[in-house]
Amino acid sequence: MTPAPMPGHDARSPAMLAASPPTRILVVEDEHDIAGLVKHALEREPGTRVEMVASGDAALRAVAERPPDLIVLDLNLPVLSGFEVCRILRSRPATRHLPIIMLTARTTEVDRVSGLDLGADDYVTKPFSLRELAARVRAVLRRPREAPERSATTAVYRGERLTADFSAVAVHVDGAPVRLTRREFELLQYLVENRGRVLSRDRLLEQVWGYDTQIETRSVDVHIGRLRAKLGPAGAQIETVVGLGYKFTES
């Protein structure tokens, strides 16, 4: 009997791995020792190749020449900060959905919110666990292959004040357009599709962020708060259920 693969182990055969294109990760980190440790930890995953650059401008050049599958991005970088690199990548159609994990010594809530609002898929603070970072990388990389469950019946939502066309990626409140980040839009979509149901933070992390274990539930609270603020009067439709999670209600 073939033994079950260990958690995090790629169960594909050597022949399958050889036939598959490698997963390419770009590590943007100006501290060479840290970059080397991250490279070593991530390349332990079969079929993973890591490239390292040490400045923000070098990161943009590397992405332009050959976009990776994921970026691990420090914030305190020479030439261009990690925030600026993220902002530029998110503004370009070709890299708008490129997975980005910020890895930084900046631990304040303001920095975390800024990074997530810019569109980072995750935010890891130093000092950090290499095993946890590798797990977060796997979780983010799973998202394209394990898309959240979506209802086929909710293409457009029309409430008293809120209108959301999920096919056209357009949200309006009282007729005025509302600009949401990608994560905020996906969060709103999942809440609307499950309106009337209480959704735990773990459930939201699993379905919107793609995590299969509890990682940074604070990210959910931050995004809910920002989403409510942007929706203005319609934000009241996202209710907090104390001790349980959140629920989207009809207006």
* CATH number for the domain harbouring residue 208: 1.10.10.10
Mean pLDDT computed over 117-134: 87
Say if CB 231 and CB 192 are below 8 A apart: no
3-state secondary structure 137-163: HHHHHHCCCCCCCCCCCCCEEECCCEE
Residues 164 and 111 in one domain: no
**Which of the pair, 151 or 70, is modelled with greater confidence?**
70
Say if CB 237 and CB 162 are below 8 A apart: yes
Within 8 A by CB and 6+ apart from 28, the residues are 52, 53, 54, 55, 56, 58, 59, 71, 72, 73, 74, 77, 82, 85
pLDDT computed for residue 134 by the predictor: 93
Say if CB 180 and CB 227 are below 8 A apart: yes
| Position 44 pLDDT exceeds 90 | yes
Last residue of a domain, one of 142, 166, 194: 142
Q: Is residue 238 part of a domain?
A: yes
pLDDT in tens, 168-178: 889 999 999 99
| Structural domain containing residue 24 | 14-142
Which backbone phi and psi does 118 adopt, to 5 degrees? -70, -15
pLDDT computed for residue 52 by the predictor: 97
What 8-state DSSP symbol labels residue 168?
A: T
pLDDT in tens, 95-120: 888 999 999 888 777 777 778 778 88
Q: Is residue 2 part of a domain?
A: no
By DSSP bridging, strand 100-104 and strand 122-125 are: parallel
pTM of structure: 0.59
- What radius of gyration, in Å, describes the C-alpha atoms of the chain? 19
pLDDT in tens, 46-76: 999 999 999 999 999 999 999 999 999 999 9
The residue written with tokens 């590590």 in the block is 27
By DSSP bridging, strand 48-53 and strand 23-28 are: parallel
**Which of the pair, 13 or 45, is modelled with greater confidence?**
45
By DSSP bridging, strand 176-177 and strand 170-173 are: antiparallel
Confidence of residue 251 (pLDDT cuts 50, 70, 90): low
Last residue of a domain, one of 120, 142, 164: 142
| Position 29 pLDDT exceeds 90 | yes
The residue written with tokens 């959910």 in the block is 220
Looking at the chain, the whole-number percentage of residues with pLDDT higher than 70 is 84
pLDDT computed for residue 21 by the predictor: 81
Domain count for the chain: 2
Which burial class, exposed, middle or buried, applies to 73 when counting CB atoms under 10 A from its CB (0-12, 13-18, 19+)? buried
pLDDT in tens, 77-87: 999 999 999 98
What 8-state DSSP symbol labels residue 31?
A: -
pLDDT computed for residue 19 by the predictor: 55
